[in-house]
Amino acid sequence: MNQNLFEIGKKFKFEGTVKEIRPLGEGLINDTFIVETEGDSPDYILQRKNKNIFQNVPAMMENIQKVTSHLKKKIEAEGGDPMREALTVTQTTDGKLYYKDADDEYWAACYLIPDTITYEKADSPALAEQGGRGIGQFQAMLADMKEPLTDILPGFHNMRFRFKQWDEIIAKDPVGRKAEVKEEIEWIESRRDEMLNFWAKAESGELPTRVTHNDTKISNILFDKHGNVLCVIDLDTVLNSICLNDYGDAIRSYTNAGLEDDENLDNVYVDMKIFEAYTKGYLSQTAGFLTPAEMENVAFSAKYITFEQVLRFLMDYIDGDNYYKVKNEKHNLVRTRAQYKLLQSLEENYDEMCNIVKKQIAEFKN
Ligand code: GN1
Ligand code: MG
């Protein structure tokens, strides 16, 4: 085992004796490891947080602590198991929520909830419905959380901010890739007003600010063996933002019949059965508190977040791949095209999506 990792592991209050620390998963941002201990002692997740993206890790960890404390109180009150149904941050031996190493890298750890299953794809409507319930419940439990969170990712789902970044990078064209992606740039420009108009509803307060997760893909939910949703994980991006984006981002990831970076665009389209199921799960938990303005914009949020993802991947490509981890030179461009195909499919199905949302809101309101 990497001796350095082992030394990092010693800084945390892990129960038992560490047997092995090995890489886990394929996150696009952080480096994640599983910490396996001897015998019956709990295992843990250890992460090196990406400090280029998360420029205030201490505040990020405070946010996570606030959110998980609130969730745990709710879960306990309802007779649930707070160790299984909410994330538990593991502190360092000196009682901190993170460890900063000699290279100024930030590390954080949490308890690994045993006997859970994660999925990379929503391969059945039943699973998608459970995923929707999971994020819906998460938002519902946090709907009365008054304590503000620190905005550790200013402008994260803010289209005005994204276009500001976009305009700067397009003007700079730092690695000379702009000419090659003229058509793709037009995909963004032709939707600028439509997307800014949606964000204007957040700016005016028509769409309220709530506690939101901001990275609601299926792999960020733990399921139990029976396929029921257990716990929402990866809380790095918990923020005060508009809650529809959590729904929209989930639709972007769950309903895609292909991969986020599929090279075969024929694979990529919206699976409307999955759409209907996720929407049902989500609204079953949220229809009780969403405002009329939020309800009206549920379906649009899926287009909004998918558009944002097209923009972010393309912007990173033009910028020379500084944000997302890439497997090769064209990876961000492949992602851009696949996400654009998905956006087109959402646009084609938009009327039907609106009808499904309307129908289900009416059902859950009764
Ligand atoms: C990033 O690291 P990961 O895979 O959980 C990104 C999300 C994107 C996602 C695309 C902080 O999430 O916003 O939607 O990649 N997270 C951040 O797969 O930028
Ligand atoms: Mg994440």
CB 252 within 8 A of CB 260: no
Q: Are residues 210 and 347 in contact, defined by beta-carbon separation less than 8 angstroms?
A: no
pLDDT of amino acid 112 = 97
215 CB within 6 A, ligand 1: yes
Ligand 1 mutation target, pool 24, 26, 28, 30, most atoms within 8 A of CB: 28
Which protein residue's CA is at the shortest distance from atom 5 of ligand 1? 27
- Mark the ranges of the chain whose per-residue pLDDT is less than 70: 1-2
Rg, the chain, Cα only: 20
- Domains of the chain (ranges plus CATH)? 3-111 (3.30.200.20), 125-365 (3.90.1200.10)
Query: How many angstroms is it from 249 CA to the middle of ligand 2?
Result: 12
- Residue 46, beta-bridge partner list: 33, 109
Q: Indicate if ligand 1 lies below 6 Å from the C-beta of 261.
A: no
Beta carbon of 53 within 6 Å of any ligand 1 atom: yes
Ligand 2 center to 150 CA (angstroms): 17
Ligand 1 neighbourhood includes 237 CB (under 6 angstroms): yes
Is the Cβ atom of 315 under 6 angstroms away from ligand 1?
A: no
Name every residue whose Cβ is closer than 8 Å to that of residue 325 and which is 6 or more positions away in sequence.
Answer: 28, 29
**Which atom of ligand 1 is nearest to 236's Cα?**
11
Of residues 125, 92, 147, 110, the one with CA closest to residue 232: 110
Instruction: State the CB neighbour count (10 A cutoff) for residue 206.
Output: 14
Q: Determine the 3-state secondary structure of 227 from DSSP.
A: coil
Q: For 139-163, how does the pLDDT look when each residue is reduced to its tens digit (9 = 90+)?
A: 999 999 999 999 999 999 999 999 9
**Overall pTM surpassing 0.85 (yes/no):** yes
pLDDT score of 25 = 79
Q: Which residues contact 123 (CB under 8 A, 6 or more apart)?
A: none
Ligand 2 mean position to 61 CA, how many Å?
14
pLDDT of residue 29: 86
Rounded Cα distance, 295 and 365, in Å:
11
What's the confidence (pLDDT) of residue 13?
98
Which ligand places an atom closest to the C-alpha of 312?
1
pLDDT digits (tens, 9 = 90+) for 20-75: 999 997 777 899 999 999 999 999 999 999 999 999 999 999 999 999 999 999 99
Listed residue (235, 261, 177) closest to 30, CA to CA: 235
User: From the alpha carbon of 50, which atom of ligand 1 is closest?
Assistant: 11
